[in-house]
Amino acid sequence: MTGESSKAARIAKALDRFAIEIPSWGFANTGTRFGKFLQPAAASTIEEKFADAAEVHALTGVTPTLALHAQWDLPNGIADAPAIRRLEAQYGIRAGSINPNLFQDQAYKYGSICNPDPEVREKATVHMLDCVEIAKRLGSRDIAPWVSDGSNYPGTQSIRKRILWMEESFGRVHAALGPEQRLLIEYKPFEPAFYHTDIADWGMALELARSAGRQAFVLVDTGHHYQAQNIEQIVAWLLHLKRLGGFHFNDRKYADDDLTLGSIDPYQVFRIFHEILISSASKPLDVAFMIDQSHNLKGKVEAMVQTVATAEELFAKAALVDLEELEILQRQCKLVEAEECFRSAFWEDVRPMVREWRRSRGLPADPLLGLAESGYVEKITAERAEQNSKAITSYA
């Protein structure tokens, strides 16, 4: 094989096992904490979210599952599971991770599973147990809570007691898991709490996962790190400890900005994919790749297609790293050569090869062009504009 055709073959092999989950909330009207700018094409029902997800999957071929947020997508809890099953069949999209909502209810003003009030802790735990049951009914593997708890002022809460309460709650949720299910614990350094956040970093999430049990793992949201943190090192550690559950991909300039994956720092995503690929060269990828983005300014379906296409391209680049060569250069401490070996894969313009892979799999070579040609956005704009114009946008 020539160099180019062996590269194309490596890319095809990598992309054939690539999948990324899209979030239902990525299609809905969202905003900043100062307000929402409504989009006429935004999805406001779970059916519209499924329809948008099906369109993204038809164009990209790698997004077979839709992450669901329990409170937004199943407002009646378990009772809504049959309706979701019908939408799965209708749109050819499976329910993905089930995300409990531990931050919106008025009861959670002073915390959910860390609330000093045992009744509130119970309510939050029962909600997560319901999510386990929802996931069982939908055949979903992952329950992915993000705990927004914390405090704003020193001395106002017992950090230690709150650790115990989390251990207790996650222990109960873990005990309810089916044999194939997983509990993914997400961390975030700040917001909405600003003095202390109960699960502020990967160490806290890891210890909580360990204490919950063998089916608990850490979820790495790329936007949930301080600027200087080395995310791929965290990934390497979690892989080493066999506690990496999955990712919420997005990009950020300052904090939890939820910008399009790779829009600010594509090299970061490449470096993460590289760590995954070294550890799973021949094994199936059991780490869940998920997107956690809110496109407040870009068109939602367009931004999701752009995100997925970018993820494919960065994964393809990471698959081009010559791992054997890199290993030799690392051992010899040939720093410049090792760095060039690594970076040359990143600099490679893989887009023609990714396009070829898409064509060979019966997909549009350029999914964004495919979307433009499909007329889908115009169609949903016409159908949804009136409903969207009635939504509430105010911050205060």
- The footprint of Mn ion (CB under 5 A) covers 221, 248, 256, 292
In the bound state with ligand RM4, the residue whose beta carbon lies nearer, of 304 and 316, is: 304
Residue 192: asked if its preceding bond is cis (omega within 30°), the reply is: yes
In order of 46, 121, 122, 164, the CA distances from 111 in angstroms are 28, 8, 12, 14
In the bound state with Mn ion, the residue whose beta carbon lies nearer, of 256 and 313, is: 256
36 binds, among ligand RM4, Mn ion, none (CB under 5 to 8 A by kind): none
In the bound state with Mn ion, the residue whose beta carbon lies nearer, of 276 and 341, is: 276
Which residue do the tokens 């080395």 mark? Answer: 230
E strand or H helix at 177: none
Residues 394, 342: Cα–Cα separation, whole Å = 48
Binding pattern for the stretch 224-253 against ligand RM4, x by CB under 6 A and - elsewhere: ------------------------x-----
Q: Residue 216 CB, nearest distance to Mn ion (Å)?
A: 17
In the bound state with Mn ion, the residue whose beta carbon lies nearer, of 142 and 292, is: 292
142 binds, among ligand RM4, Mn ion, none (CB under 5 to 8 A by kind): none
Q: Residue 292 CB, nearest distance to ligand RM4 (Å)?
A: 5
Q: Helices 3-16 and 351-360: crossing angle, nearest 10°?
A: 60
Q: Does 112 bind ligand RM4 (CB under 6 A)?
A: no
Residues 279, 292: Cα–Cα separation, whole Å = 24
For strand 182-186 and strand 216-221, is the pairing parallel, antiparallel, or unpaired?
Answer: parallel
Helices (H), the chain: 3-16, 46-60, 70-73, 81-91, 118-138, 159-176, 202-212, 231-240, 266-279, 300-319, 323-331, 335-347, 351-360, 367-374, 376-389
Q: Residue 172 CB, nearest distance to ligand RM4 (Å)?
A: 21
Q: Which of 52, 73, 149, 221 binds ligand RM4 (CB under 6 A)?
A: 221
Contact 125, 176 (CB under 8 A): no
Binding pattern for the stretch 308-347 against ligand RM4, x by CB under 6 A and - elsewhere: ----------------------------------------
3-state DSSP call for residue 380? helix
Residue nearest to ligand RM4 (CB): 146
Within 8 A by CB and 6+ apart from 308, the residues are: 20, 22, 56, 60, 62, 63, 291, 367
99 binds, among Mn ion, ligand RM4, none (CB under 5 to 8 A by kind): ligand RM4
313 binds, among Mn ion, ligand RM4, none (CB under 5 to 8 A by kind): none
Within 8 A by CB and 6+ apart from 387, the residues are: 44
- Number of amino acids touching ligand RM4 (CB under 6 A): 8
Q: Between residue 148 and residue 187, which ones bind ligand RM4 under the rule CB under 6 A? A: 186
Residues 140, 93: Cα–Cα separation, whole Å = 12
Which residue do the tokens 């309706």 mark? Answer: 83
Q: Does 256 bind ligand RM4 (CB under 6 A)?
A: yes
274 binds, among Mn ion, ligand RM4, none (CB under 5 to 8 A by kind): none
In the bound state with ligand RM4, the residue whose beta carbon lies nearer, of 15 and 70, is: 70
Q: Does 99 bind ligand RM4 (CB under 6 A)?
A: yes
Q: Which residues bind ligand RM4 (CB under 6 A)?
A: 99, 146, 186, 188, 221, 248, 256, 292
